[in-house]
Structures are given as structure tokens and as C-alpha cells.
């Protein structure tokens, strides 16, 4: 209540101050003392309204971009020109009528048969042995064998001179024969090949044998035969061990253009040697008969 009285007094004071009209100052009446008011009821408390503050929008800080350093290229880069794409040709659709006509023409067209030229078949003509007319005949029984087998003319040619008789030696092996013909040594293998060697054995210098131990019933060759047998492993492998001792004898032999005929008395047949162009190797076969 006291607060209310104070407020009213202040208002009156302010109104008097604002009045510009001069007035005579009157004596202020004495403020009579007002009786105290007994509140009849309890005043409800004045509700003080609290203003709700609306939160202000938080500002997102803006990132200040840093300055990008300028890089000066050391080498000038030349742009590679990009190829200009070419237009893909669009296939023109064939009208249905033309397509049907083309299919009909293909079915009705009769193509000529494929022609393959006939290659003539040339019959192979067997090679006939070259026969030479000999100016002279072979000696003794050699001539009989030579005339009875026309193929010998093309194999060993014509005889040269006359037959001669020489001291010889031969030895039978497991798979062939060795023949000493007063100088050269002929190794005849059982597969029909032969090979000629020079006889280089020197008595008193070269050993007679290697004193090896052959299988039971077989022999090691000695002297000239043994030297070749020991020095040439292919000969030893192909001809094997001796199955009989070396035998000496007399041999009739005759030279032909490309070979020899031998008649070894201890064999009972005639050996025909057909030389290769080298004269060192060749083939051999035997013929029934004698010199």
C-alpha cells in the first residue's frame, strides 16, 4: 500500500513540473493520516511472466581458402590431338520384297560343278641296272658265277685282268668273319656290311692279345685281327668274340671295276664284295661255287 502512495505522489510531482504556467505557490495541505486498511482477502501473487528466449541461429564459420601456389611448368606439354570419331555407317535395311526376291534367286540358281583338273598319274618306271659290255671275261669259276647272275654286271662292273692266288687267313666270329688278304683286312659283318682296314700289326712291337677272359667256348682274336678288334670298339661290339681259331690258307681273288671276288678254300663258297664309292666300306654276299 505504501508503494502505491509513493507512486501517486511521484506522478503528481512530475505533472506539476511539466506545467509551464506560473502559479502562485499555495500552501500544501497537510497530509492527513489515512487509516490503515485491513486487507479483506489475501491478494493473489502477481505472476511474473518470464520471456522465453528464442535461441539464435548458430552461424557456420566459413573456411577461408588458402592461396594455391602457382606452379610454373618446366617443360611445355603439347596436347595430343584426339582422333575425331568417324561416323558409323548405318546399314540401310533391305526392303522385304527385295530380300525375298534375292532368296528366291539364290534357290533357283544352279551353279556349275567345281572343276578340278585331272593330274595324270605317271607310273614309276623301275630303274634297270646299267649293263656294260665287258671286253674281257672273269677267270675260272668266277666267270661262271658272273654270267649266271646278270645283276653282278651293274654291281661290281667288269673284271680287271686275271685272278691271282694269295696267302690268306680267316677267322669266324659270333657275328661275322675276318679275312686277311696279304695286306688289307676285311671285316665282314653278319648284317651284310663290310669294312676294310690296313694291317698295321708289327710282330715284336704290338702285343699278341690283351689277355682278356672271353666267355666259355669263345676266343679273343690275336695278332692283326686282335689289334683291329681291340682298337675299334664298334668292330668288337658288332662282330663279337671269335668262335673258332684263325685259319691260314690260299685264296684266289679277282679285281672288278667296283668290287672283288674271293674264293677261300676253307669256306667252300665265293665271297662277292661290292664297294661303296669310298672303297673302304660296302656290302658283301656269297655265291655257291669255287674258283
Average pLDDT across the chain, whole number: 77
Of all residues in the chain, the percent with pLDDT exceeding 70 is: 57
Per-residue pLDDT tens digits for 244-254: 999 999 999 99
pLDDT at site 225? 97
Q: Which residue has the higher pLDDT, 101 or 26?
A: 101
Give the mean pLDDT of 172-190.
97
- The model carries a pTM of 0.56
Q: Which of 286, 202, 186, 270 shows the shortest CA–CA distance to 235?
A: 186
Give the mean pLDDT of 108-115.
56
Q: Is the pLDDT of residue 29 over 50?
A: no
What is the band of 193 on the pLDDT scale with cuts at 50, 70, 90?
A: very high
Q: Which residue has the higher pLDDT, 55 or 159?
A: 159
Q: Is the pLDDT of residue 271 over 70?
A: yes
Q: Which residues contact 287 (CB under 8 A, 6 or more apart)?
A: 145, 149, 269, 270, 272
Is residue 270 within 8 Å of 286, Cβ to Cβ?
yes
What is the band of 212 on the pLDDT scale with cuts at 50, 70, 90?
A: confident
Give the mean pLDDT of 102-123.
57
Q: Is the pLDDT of residue 219 over 90?
A: yes
Q: Which residue has the higher pLDDT, 108 or 139?
A: 139
Per-residue pLDDT tens digits for 61-93: 555 555 555 545 555 455 555 555 555 555 555
Q: Which of 164, 157, 129 shows the shortest CA–CA distance to 272?
A: 157
Residue 208 φ/ψ region, left for φ over 0, alpha for ψ in the -120 to 50 degree band, beta for the rest: alpha
Cα three-residue angle 193-172-286, rounded to 5 degrees: 50
Q: Is the pLDDT of residue 48 over 50?
A: no
Q: Which residues contact 179 (CB under 8 A, 6 or more apart)?
A: 168, 169, 170, 185, 186, 188, 251, 262, 264, 271
What is the band of 169 on the pLDDT scale with cuts at 50, 70, 90?
A: very high
Q: Which residue has the higher pLDDT, 176 or 102?
A: 176
pLDDT at site 99? 73
Amino acid at each position: 500500500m505504501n508503494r502505491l502512495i509513493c507512486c501517486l505522489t511521484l506522478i503528481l510531482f512530475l505533472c506539476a513540473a511539466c506545467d509551464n504556467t506560473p502559479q502562485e505557490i499555495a500552501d500544501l495541505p497537510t497530509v492527513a493520516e489515512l487509516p490503515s486498511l485491513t486487507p479483506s482477502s489475501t491478494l493473489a501473487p502477481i505472476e511474473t511472466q518470464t520471456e522465453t528466449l528464442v535461441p539464435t541461429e548458430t552461424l557456420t564459420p566459413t573456411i577461408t581458402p588458402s592461396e594455391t601456389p602457382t606452379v610454373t611448368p618446366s617443360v611445355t606439354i603439347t596436347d595430343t590431338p584426339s582422333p575425331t570419331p568417324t561416323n558409323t555407317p548405318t546399314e540401310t535395311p533391305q526392303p522385304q520384297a527385295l530380300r525375298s526376291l534375292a532368296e528366291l534367286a539364290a534357290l533357283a540358281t544352279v551353279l556349275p560343278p567345281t572343276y578340278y583338273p585331272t593330274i595324270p598319274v605317271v607310273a614309276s618306271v623301275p630303274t634297270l641296272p646299267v649293263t656294260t659290255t665287258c671286253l674281257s671275261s672273269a677267270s675260272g669259276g668266277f666267270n661262271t658265277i658272273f654270267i649266271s647272275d646278270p645283276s653282278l654286271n651293274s654291281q661290281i662292273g667288269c673284271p680287271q685282268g686275271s685272278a691271282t692266288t694269295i696267302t690268306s687267313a680267316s677267322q669266324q666270329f659270333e657275328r661275322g668273319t675276318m679275312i686277311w688278304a696279304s695286306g688289307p683286312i676285311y671285316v665282314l659283318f653278319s648284317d651284310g656290311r663290310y669294312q676294310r682296314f690296313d694291317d698295321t700289326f708289327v710282330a715284336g712291337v704290338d702285343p699278341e692279345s690283351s689277355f682278356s677272359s672271353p666267355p666259355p667256348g669263345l676266343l679273343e682274336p690275336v695278332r692283326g685281327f686282335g689289334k683291329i678288334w681291340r682298337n675299334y670298339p664298334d668292330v668288337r661290339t658288332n662282330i663279337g668274340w671269335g668262335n673258332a681259331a684263325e685259319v691260314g690258307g690260299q685264296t684266289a681273288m679277282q679285281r672288278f671295276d667296283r668290287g672283288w671276288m674271293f674264293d677261300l678254300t676253307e669256306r667252300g663258297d665265293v665271297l662277292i664284295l661290292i664297294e661303296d664309292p669310298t672303297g673302304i666300306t660296302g656290302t658283301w654276299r656269297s655265291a655257291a661255287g669255287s674258283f
